[in-house]
Amino acid sequence: MFYFLYPLSEYFSPFNLFRYITFRTGGAILTAFILVFFLCPYTIKKLKSCSMNQTIRNDGPDRHVKKEGTPTMGGVLILLTILVTNLLWGNFSNSYTYICLFTILSFGVLGFYDDYLKVIKKDPKGLGGKYKIIFQILFSVVIGIFLLFVTMGDSDFSKVQIPFTKGIAPNLGYFYILFVILVLVASSNAVNLTDGLDGLAIGPIVIAFSTFAILSYVSGRINTAQYLNIFFVKQVGEITVFCGSIIGAGLGFLWYNSYPAQIFMGDTGSLSLGASLGTVAVLSKHELLLPLIGGLFVIITTSVVLQVASFKLTRKRIFLMAPLHHHFELKGWEEPKIIVRFWIISIVLSILAIMTLKIR
C-alpha cells in the first residue's frame, strides 16, 4: 500500500500521509487487529478440525485440566498477520524492516516445529531445550552479523548506552554480536516461559511493544534524540510500524486468548514475539532498558532459575511451583487475578522505562 499509494501523492495530496511513520503505524495497528479479530474464529475451527489441541502437563495445577483440548499454534495467525501488515504499511527500502521480519519468521519457524512435534507427533518434549537454544543462537548470529554489516559505516552502533548515565557507552566492537545473541535468546525464552496462563504473555507483549514503538520513533528523530540525550539511529523510526503490527495482532489475539482462552499461541508465537522484542531493543539502542520494559518476563524467568538452582543445591524448592504464576495459583489466587495483576506490573515498569528518558 505504501509503494502503490504514496507515489500518487503528486496527483492527490492526501496520499502524502503515507510518508509519515505515525500514520502508517496507526494503519498497521488497525489492519493487524482487524485481520486477527475476524480470522481467529476460522483459525480456531481449523485447528480443532486438525486436532491441533493443547496438551496439559500432568504436574501442573489441577484447574488446568479443563484447558485440555484448547487449540494451540495460534501464533501462525499472528505471524502471517504481521507479515501481511508490514507488506501493506512497511517501507522495504529500510534494512531494519528486513531484520525484524527475518527475526520473527525464523524464530517462528523454530517454534512451529516445536509445536508440531508436541501436537502432531505427540512428543511431550518437543524439539528439546538443547536444540532450541542451538537454533536460537544460530539465528541470532545471522542477525548480529547482518546488523553490523548494515551499520558498517556507523562505528557507534556497537556501543551500548548505560541508562541513568550521561555519555557512558562502551563500544563492544565485534563482541556486540555476542551481546545480540544474549539479548535475543534471553528475551525469546523469557516470553516462552511466561506463556502459561490465558493472556498472560500476549498482554505484556502488547505493552512492551507499545513502549518500544515510542522509543524507536524518538531514536529515529535526530532533534528529539539529541534533546533526550539518547542515541540517534538513522532510519530506525521505521520499526515503529513493525511494532504497530505486533500491537494490533496482539490485541486481536487477546480478544480470544483472554480468560477463558479459546486459543493458545504456542511456541510459534511466544518464541518469535520474544525474539522480536529483543531485536527491537537492539535496533533502537535501548538494549539495557529491555530488562525493565520486559521486567515481568525477567521476574518469571528468574523464578524458574532460582527454583531449579535451589532444588539442585539443597533439594528444597523456593516456590510451590515454577514459573511464578503457578506458585500464586497453588496459593489460591484465581487465574484472572494473577493475569491482571501481572499486566499492571508490566504497565508500571513500562512507565518507569519511559521516565528514564529524562534521567540521563
What are the boundaries of each domain within the chain?
25-358
CB-CB neighbours of 7 under 10 Å: 11
322-343: average pLDDT: 95
Residue 58 above 80 pLDDT? no
CB-CB neighbours of 359 under 10 Å: 11
- Quote the CA–CA distance of 18 and 347 in Å, as a whole number: 30
Q: Tell me the C-alpha to C-alpha distance, in Å, between residue 94 and each of 97, 248, 283.
A: 6, 21, 12
Residue 249 above 60 pLDDT? yes
SS3 159: strand
Least confident of 53-62, 90-99, 228-237, 349-358: 53-62
pTM of the model: 0.94
Residue 316 above 70 pLDDT? yes
Share of the chain above pLDDT 70, in %: 91
Residue 106 above 90 pLDDT? yes
Mean pLDDT of the chain: 90
**Over the stretch 298-310, which tens digit does the pLDDT of each residue have?**
999 999 999 999 9
User: Who wins on pLDDT, 329 or 2?
Assistant: 329
SS3 315: coil
User: Who wins on pLDDT, 124 or 107?
Assistant: 107
- Quote the CA–CA distance of 3 and 246 in Å, as a whole number: 21
**Over the stretch 14-49, which tens digit does the pLDDT of each residue have?**
767 778 999 999 999 999 999 999 999 999 999 988
Instruction: Give residue 212's pLDDT band: very low, low, confident or very high (50, 70, 90).
Output: very high
User: Who wins on pLDDT, 326 or 56?
Assistant: 326
Q: Which of 85, 293, 299 is nearest to 207 (CA)?
A: 293
User: Who wins on pLDDT, 2 or 358?
Assistant: 358
- What 44-47 contacts at long range (C-beta under 8 Å, 24+ apart), as own/partner pairs, is 44/71, 44/74, 44/256, 44/262, 44/263, 47/71, 47/72, 47/73, 47/74, 47/263
Using an 8 Å Cβ cutoff, are 69 and 262 in contact? Answer: no
Instruction: Give residue 76's pLDDT band: very low, low, confident or very high (50, 70, 90).
Output: very high
pLDDT, residue 11, reads 58
Using an 8 Å Cβ cutoff, are 190 and 294 in contact? Answer: yes
Q: Which of 109, 72, 71, 89 is nearest to 35 (CA)?
A: 89
Residue 6 above 80 pLDDT? no
Instruction: Give residue 360's pLDDT band: very low, low, confident or very high (50, 70, 90).
Output: low
**Over the stretch 251-280, which tens digit does the pLDDT of each residue have?**
999 999 999 999 999 999 999 999 999 999
Residue 124 above 70 pLDDT? yes
Residue 289 above 70 pLDDT? yes
